[in-house]
Amino acid sequence: MGRGKIAITKIENRTNRQVTFSKRRVGLLKKTNELSVLCDAQIGLIIFSSTGKLFEYCSESISMEQLIRRYQLAKGMRIPETINHDVSQIHNELRRMRKETQNLQLSLQRYTCDDLSSVNYQELAELEHQLEHSVIKVRARKFELLQQQADDLRTKGRMLEEENEQIYGLIKDHEAAAWQQQQAQAQVAATLTMATKMEEPRQVLEQFPFAGEAQPRGVLELAITDCQPYRLQPLQPNLQDFNLHCPNYE
């Protein structure tokens, strides 16, 4: 798994910045030496740290002064008359850079409130005004970010509500389709049951053939057709009728 890319920006943490400077400086000097040896190139490298400390590298076949003079000749720049004058100019530039570095460090200490013993009232008032202005900017940026987050949350909430409504609509459509299917199945079952009930009497009629006669239209008509007329016989015989038919019985 490859290493992630590092953003090329200033490292705000002082300790991390110093560690990174030491590691990169060693790597840069190593690569410079390799390039000089492998390619037989004359290389001069000058490095000033954030504290004004000087680091330099020069190829073994030439000195730094000779390399600088060669550079000036190649660029058409004015060559100093004496090396001592060049050295004094370099020392003056170093002192100036160290002084600027110290001033910057003091300014940083004031902003971080690490050491305010050497600051007068006017400087403190100016520092307070600058800090208040910085706090206003920080708060404005914070409120802007909070507003953006709130807008994003509202947009996300609306999207979730719309998605919920769509899902609810799909569920209702599915339930309606299922209900219609159940109703259709119930109607088909009722039709089949009614057809079965109407078929039972017809099957009964088919068991009694009626040759040369009209077919009865139902079981009730069949029952009426089968019943023959008959006369009700009394349980006790009529004596008068008996005497009339049998006169000698007495």
What tens digit of pLDDT does each residue of 172-207 get? 999 999 999 989 888 888 888 887 777 766 665 566
The model's pTM: 0.32
Output DSSP code: residue 4. Answer: P
Reply yes or no on whether the pLDDT at 246 is more than 60.
no
pLDDT of residue 43: 92
Lowest-pLDDT choice from 14-18, 70-74, 77-81, 224-228: 224-228
Q: Which residue has the higher pLDDT, 215 or 26?
A: 26
Mean pLDDT of 101-116: 72
Residue 4, CA distances (Å) to 24, 28, 137 in order: 17, 21, 32
Neighbours of 110 (CB within 10 A): 19
List, for residues 134-149, the tens digit of each pLDDT value: 889 999 999 999 999 9
The pLDDT value given to residue 212: 47
More confident residue, 30 or 243: 30
pLDDT bucket at 250, cuts 50 / 70 / 90: very low
CA–CA distance, 34 with 51 (Å, rounded to integer) = 28
Instruction: Report pLDDT for 74.
Output: 85
Residue 100's pLDDT band (cuts 50, 70, 90): confident
Confidence class of residue 62 from pLDDT cuts 50, 70 and 90? confident
CB-based contact 69:42 (threshold 8 Å): no
Cβ-Cβ contacts under 8 Å for 57 (sequence gap 6 or more): 29, 32, 33, 43, 44, 45
Mean pLDDT (whole number) for 106-116? 68
- State the pLDDT at residue 149: 92
Taking residues 44-65, report their average pLDDT. Answer: 88
Identify the three-state secondary structure at position 58: strand
Instruction: Say what the pLDDT of residue 216 is.
Output: 54
d(CA 131, CA 201): 105
Mean pLDDT along residues 121-137: 84
Higher pLDDT, 220 or 124: 124
